[in-house]
Structure 1
């Protein structure tokens, strides 16, 4: 498979992770098997001494980026780079957590003293630099950012806000830790990967229709207002364009996402692409006036396949293992607003929907939606669906469709956009734009769940510490339609037509 390879800037912490993770690369795609084997052996040998520290499943750090609002434009590049380094530090700390299970079992303070404490000190130093960069650029940094330096260990049995909201009975860590005879820890789900686990899956027949409890992602269109649609066909990544960058949140940073994305539409969209690069690029969209970039984390089938990125950061070296699954269908549709006409999106508008860190951040920005064909009135946010024979897995994302009328981005990449309110209208100060709806359909063999184990699971790529939880699914968009096409989209939607 091909991938985007233009690279320039890699946070130092990511290089540390690469060296450590490379030691764990094993055959058959079970890249983190060495980490997990030590946990498995130690649990067998020391089951009687399992301490609270040994039960810690992952690392939970406050999301500094989401708390930033007053960042002057000329400081944003440096601040985004600092935040990317912070992400790499968490990845490095999680890797250490996963490789020291024996030491944790023998010392209840090991995690705090050797992992969390030093991590907090390093985060404090970065926060200080972020504050300095904001103030130097003429902004006013929040003095309370220091309160976000400290991280915590999340025990496997400790749920997070939003977990279990759709399926019930989920335990946050997602497996019967220590209850199945083998005494497996959170880091080994039976296939050598830190998630997903059996409790992350639910039979679609057990999901109640119309039970998805989330204001985020409401469809904006309805019987009133602007009722038309515009569909753009950009394929399913036939060009094999993959990378683990994040052009929106971590521009200029190699491996800023720590997981791999599928890309359709714009063909020049790594972390170092300028707006001019995007405007001059080729596109996979049938309508050549649409050079927008549409991207999402790949799904993988954890079947032992060693992918092209098995040894790479963002891929196998950070726990994202198995065969990459392309969508069988990728439907990209723009719809209107229930209460009003829509206005044109500005060129280069950036929108992130969902939260790649929602397992630890909570569900305030989560916007994952999983279902099966033939059952799409049954949507789940924190479970992967088990679909019956003849049914396919469906991922959908309804983007924020209210724009502040001024900015194409914001410091936390969220404040310039909003979801519609319950009645379909935009909040005060925001105006309705065409709402992007992405529907991805996959042919996936249904995993088998028996005795608290899941065999051949599928999973969304994630930051390592997010444990491949389905609630971390997210979707990204940069508008690079030419002016004529955007006007056509708006006219079509406002006139109630269905166009493509």
Structure 2
């Protein structure tokens, strides 16, 4: 059971510490105008963190073939963010109740359509207008402090402090968008406008059936954990977000956004009735504050549990570029 913490004021530093990692900071969910008010913490909890050196080597995520294609789209240097999700909650503003970082398509918001995305600009090379997005990661040391580059949201801002998402938004140091091969078969092209999600933004209350959170540190990529990793000094926190890669051959979306593209089996083979498509792996690297003082944005009831990490993708590559991706993957090249 998650230990819930009670703090005196937002941004206060806990008196305790974890061995060798400094003093943790957690944000509470109270009215900051009431000085000294006692408030119930909205997470994360101390048990949500683990020293990466204590995680045993093992599974490294979805198995893949030798070939790959990397789409270079930057790391959201232009600050394209909102709390929408046009895949899961289309036509709704603040449908996600937490802030997303976007790369690729410059127009993505809750009202995006296939047509609007096809007409949008992009941060990616080679005309890749795909929409790639994930919840932001925040540093929570000195919660409440603002910077010009990435202020904490106001209580009334969508996805903001009134929903427990507080702290300085951390810009990823690097974003790697890699499309990988299947280890047992050739892949076919993704259809244009294919929509996919990975992970479960409500995994803390839904259970782990759809959870796909994978966290680690630079230098320790042979060990993945569903908890926030505490990295050795100088190490970067990595979020590894693997997408499903076995397509039903017909649909670009489904009612649950999960049944039209599913994950392969443990050996990498796709289930009967599906065919392998290039498998998207997002790897996001961050420099975070020392100690357990960072968290992913979440729905309020999820308490910033790291198991809720997730990401979304809509393929808006030109057909010629997708053909290049398939060729690189099937020929075992690294493009």
TM-score tier by shorter-chain length is 0.7 to 0.9
Pairing 1:67-216 to 2, within 5 Å after superposition: 187-188=40-41, 194-210=42-58
What is residue 384 of structure 1 aligned with on the other side?
Answer: 228
Report whether the alignment pairs 1:34 with 2:31: yes
TM-score for both structures, normalised by structure 1: 0.59
| Unaligned stretches of 5+ residues in structure 2 | 1-8, 13-25
1 or 2 for the larger relative contact order (CA 8 Å, sep ≥6)? Answer: 2
Specify the alignment match of 1:255 in structure 2.
94
* Partner in structure 2 of residue 476 of structure 1: 312
Matched, 1:309 2:150: no
Q: 1:209 deviation in Å?
A: 1.0
* In 2, Cα distance between equivalents of 1:331 and 1:414: 23
Please give the per-residue CA displacement for 1:386-416, whole angstroms capped at 9, x wherever unaligned: 1111111010011100000000000011110
- TM-aligned CA deviation for residue 436 of structure 1: 0.4
Structure 2 match to 1:300 = 138
Q: 1:39 to 1:362 in 2, by over 3 A?
A: farther
Is 1:498 the equivalent of 2:328?
A: no
- Is it true that 1:409 corresponds to 2:257 in the alignment? no
CA distance in 2: counterparts of 1:467 and 1:39, whole angstroms: 22
Partner residue in 1 for 2:15: none
Alpha-carbon distance between aligned partners in 1 of 2:162 and 2:52, rounded to the nearest angstrom: 32
Give the Cα separation in 2 of the matches to 1:355 and 1:385.
Answer: 19
Q: Does the CA-based 8 Å contact 2:27-2:43 persist in structure 1?
A: no
CA distance in 1, matches of 2:248, 2:221: 32
Could you tell me how far apart the structure 1 residues matched to 2:245 and 2:37 are? 47
Q: What is the Cα deviation at residue 309 of structure 1?
A: 2.5
1:273, distance to aligned residue in structure 2 (A): 1.1
Q: Where does residue 83 of structure 2 map in the other structure?
A: 244
**Residues 1:433 and 2:277 aligned together:** yes
**Of 368, 379, 385, which aligns to 2:213?**
368
Q: Aligned partners of 1:230, 1:26: CA distance in 2, in Å?
A: 44
In 2, distance between residues paired with 1:331 and 1:31? 33
Kept after mapping to 1: 8 A contact 2:248/2:273: yes
Higher helix share: 1
Q: Which residue of structure 1 aligns with residue 129 of structure 2?
A: 291
Q: Judging changes above 3 Å, is the alpha-carbon distance between structure 1 residues 38 and 27 closer, same or farther for their aligned structure 2 residues?
A: closer
Q: Give the Cα–Cα distance (whole angstroms) in 2 for the partners of residues 438 and 297 of structure 1.
A: 13
The counterpart of 2:108, out of the listed 248, 251, 269, is 269
Say which SS state the counterpart of residue 115 (structure 2) adopts.
helix
**Alignment correspondent of 1:78:** none
Tell me the TM-score normalised to structure 2 length: 0.87
Count the aligned residue pairs: 307
Residue 344 (structure 1) aligns with: 189
The residue that corresponds to 2:299 in the other structure is 463
Q: CA contact under 8 A between 2:94 and 2:158: conserved in structure 1?
A: yes
Counterpart-to-counterpart distance in 1, 2:106 and 2:47: 37
C-alpha distance in 1 between matches for 2:332 and 2:83: 39
Alignment counterpart, residue 171 of structure 2, candidates 287, 301, 326: 326
Tell me, in whole angstroms, the C-alpha distance in 2 between the residues paired with 1:249 and 1:347: 18
Is the 1:400–1:417 Cα contact (8 Å) retained in structure 2? yes
Q: Secondary structure at the match of 1:34?
A: coil
| Partners of 2:136 and 2:178 in 1: CA distance | 20
Question: Any gaps of 5 or more consecutive residues in structure 1?
Answer: 1-24, 42-184, 189-193, 448-453
| 1:39 Cα offset (Å) | 11
Question: Aligned partners of 1:490 and 1:301: how far apart in 2?
Answer: 38
Distance 1:464 1:283 in 2: 31
Distance 1:393 1:384 in 2: 8
State how far apart, in whole Å, the 2-side matches of 1:293 and 1:300 are.
22
- Does the Cα contact within 8 Å between 1:31 and 1:316 map onto a contact in 2? no
Query: 1:134-171 deviations in whole A, cap 9, x for unaligned?
Result: xxxxxxxxxxxxxxxxxxxxxxxxxxxxxxxxxxxxxx
